[in-house]
A = this chain, B = another copy of it.
């Protein structure tokens, strides 16, 4: 089945759920029309569907291979990447100051979804480059920006994040890689890094590794880390790649999924590194990069879920099996007629569209925080910071669920690799793990984003949801039931919030025992809220006679989500409020 980029739904989200109306008033976007954004996404969608999507099956089968220290990519990846660079797609959402197209992050998120739905193994290379750009733009010196940013934004060079070591995964405080200062102001980097996505390959002219390491005498733990640029090829006087640096790929991992994406073990043997930002500020610099990467991984979750849903929907229309339970015909019918197949398809659709809306709305707040009117900046920033770990945690967990449902819709054929749906199930499984596990996202949401401001941002969001409920009740009809379910879920959210705020100071373990349930409850509610807003926008558009089929479909998604997904918030609340004791006291 060919991949169909969901341009219409992405544009609907951009127009109705992101902060576009406010963002478009800013100086940067004053001359940009929605039609321009649509044209960009359509062109990118064509490229992804025609050039990237066909790479997947063979890419998965062959995998990236290490031969004599060089990574051999599966057939077609190099050519597709060259075209990606030539068309300038890497630059889409980056600042015009360094050659980027400067489109809003909400459009960037849409593009990230499309690319990763086409092929996540391919999409990981630009994703890491995007993150390196964010980190250098935020923390690099002017000289470093001049040397690296243009090439990275063009996609001519790619970027990596070098954090993990065998003993240091979620806990970066345990990083042991050393950086010895040299007389010329550079550093000699020594150590081993693992799980380095696109840590070695030959699709780009250079690879800019961003490496966390410890300088001599640095304090133990996370506060002693510094960030370094370690280019695969050191730059010559003219800024072009010259001598090979002392970093090499010693092996590639044999992974469950995203097999075409090379996951490298890198050995640094006195490699030349350049300090980014101040010494010991490494984690702070890296956090900029991680936030961008985490949000993008959440979008990958939407991408995989959408691709899996598209494939399952096509299968359900094609496969003929069994007569209907209502006995309306004695002949076998397409399985899309069977109630439980419909249930699975609607569950997938609701989670895909809910996740997408949550991601685009969050990106919209990021845009508002960057380009909005002064009085909105702080609030927009708080909203985006609160929702970023939710996008990552919720959308990736749902991607695993949706991919699993898609396998189920395929029945026995789903278990056969040639069918292709098992690949998405395998690919999806990394999403709740890399760039911070779901538990790490939940700790961020609960600790830094909820407890730290005394629940202020969380309550502000609850108020906004209550406003949407009011609008839904005014709209009447099916919207009233959606409002009822939103209200019940919001009540679960607020009760959980009160419990957590009350409990955390005196019993942190009891609060954190519910952290993932709180993240999932929050994600379920926030995505449901966005779909409630979507229902209102669709209802208004339908009344105007705009694209009635699409709008009716959107209203159906929102209604299903409210009736089938939102009720799970009650279980999450019960676990948060009553569950800690039975969890903490058990002997394991």
A329 to B417, CA, bound (A): 47
> Quick check: A560 and B588 within 8 Å, CB to CB?
no
Shortest distance from the beta carbon of A263 to any chain B beta carbon, whole Å: 9
Tell me whether A575 and B564 are in contact in the complex, defined as CB-CB below 8 angstroms, given that A326-B508, A332-B171 are known contacts: yes
Q: Copies of this chain, how many?
A: 2
Question: A498-530 vs B: 1/0 string, CB under 8 Å?
Answer: 000000000011001101110000000000000
Interface centre among A326, A340, A512, A581 (most CB of B within 10 A): A340
- Neighbouring B residues of A422 by C-beta, 8 Å: 256, 429
**Contacts from A to B (Cβ < 8 Å):** 164, 167-171, 173-174, 194-195, 221, 253-257, 313, 316-317, 320-322, 324-327, 330, 332, 336, 338-343, 345-346, 400, 404, 407-408, 411-412, 414-418, 422, 425-426, 429-430, 432-434, 437-439, 442-443, 508-509, 512-513, 515-517, 549, 552-553, 556-557, 559-560, 562-564, 567-568, 570-571, 574-575, 578-588
Q: Is the interface of A mostly helix, strand, loop or mixed?
A: helix
- Neighbouring B residues of A559 by C-beta, 8 Å: 582
Tell me whether A339 and B414 are in contact in the complex, defined as CB-CB below 8 angstroms, given that A321-B170, A438-B408 are known contacts: no
Instruction: Closest B residue to A447 by CB, please name it.
Output: B325
> Quick check: A509 and B439 within 8 Å, CB to CB?
no
- Neighbouring B residues of A509 by C-beta, 8 Å: 324-326, 339
- For the complex of A and B, the 4 pairs showing the least CB-CB separation, nearest first, are A567-B574, A340-B439, A556-B586, A339-B513
- Neighbouring B residues of A567 by C-beta, 8 Å: 570-571, 574-575
Contacting A571 at CB < 8 Å: which of B430, B562, B571? B571
> Quick check: B340 and A516 within 8 Å, CB to CB?
yes
- Neighbouring B residues of A560 by C-beta, 8 Å: 579, 582-583, 586
> Quick check: B321 and A171 within 8 Å, CB to CB?
yes
> Quick check: B342 and A256 within 8 Å, CB to CB?
no
Shortest distance from the beta carbon of A55 to any chain B beta carbon, whole Å: 19
Shortest distance from the beta carbon of A490 to any chain B beta carbon, whole Å: 16
Interface pairs (24), CB distance under 8 Å: A168-B321, A173-B332, A253-B415, A253-B416, A254-B418, A255-B415, A324-B509, A325-B508, A327-B508, A339-B583, A340-B442, A343-B513, A346-B582, A400-B404, A407-B433, A408-B432, A408-B438, A411-B433, A422-B429, A549-B587, A553-B586, A564-B575, A564-B582, A564-B583
- Besides the known contacts A325-B508, A336-B588, A552-B587, 7 further A-B residue pairs in the complex with CB atoms under 8 A apart: A254-B417, A255-B415, A343-B583, A556-B587, A563-B574, A563-B581, A567-B571
Contacting A346 at CB < 8 Å: which of B164, B512, B583? B583
- Neighbouring B residues of A438 by C-beta, 8 Å: 408
- Neighbouring B residues of A254 by C-beta, 8 Å: 416-418
Shortest distance from the beta carbon of A511 to any chain B beta carbon, whole Å: 8
- Neighbouring B residues of A255 by C-beta, 8 Å: 415-417
Shortest distance from the beta carbon of A559 to any chain B beta carbon, whole Å: 5
> Quick check: A412 and B426 within 8 Å, CB to CB?
no
- Neighbouring B residues of A343 by C-beta, 8 Å: 513, 516-517, 583
- Neighbouring B residues of A411 by C-beta, 8 Å: 169-170, 433, 437
> Quick check: A316 and B588 within 8 Å, CB to CB?
yes
- Neighbouring B residues of A174 by C-beta, 8 Å: 321, 332
> Quick check: B429 and A404 within 8 Å, CB to CB?
yes
- Neighbouring B residues of A580 by C-beta, 8 Å: 339
Shortest distance from the beta carbon of A340 to any chain B beta carbon, whole Å: 4
- Neighbouring B residues of A582 by C-beta, 8 Å: 346, 556, 559-560, 562-564
Shortest distance from the beta carbon of A41 to any chain B beta carbon, whole Å: 24
> Quick check: B417 and A434 within 8 Å, CB to CB?
no
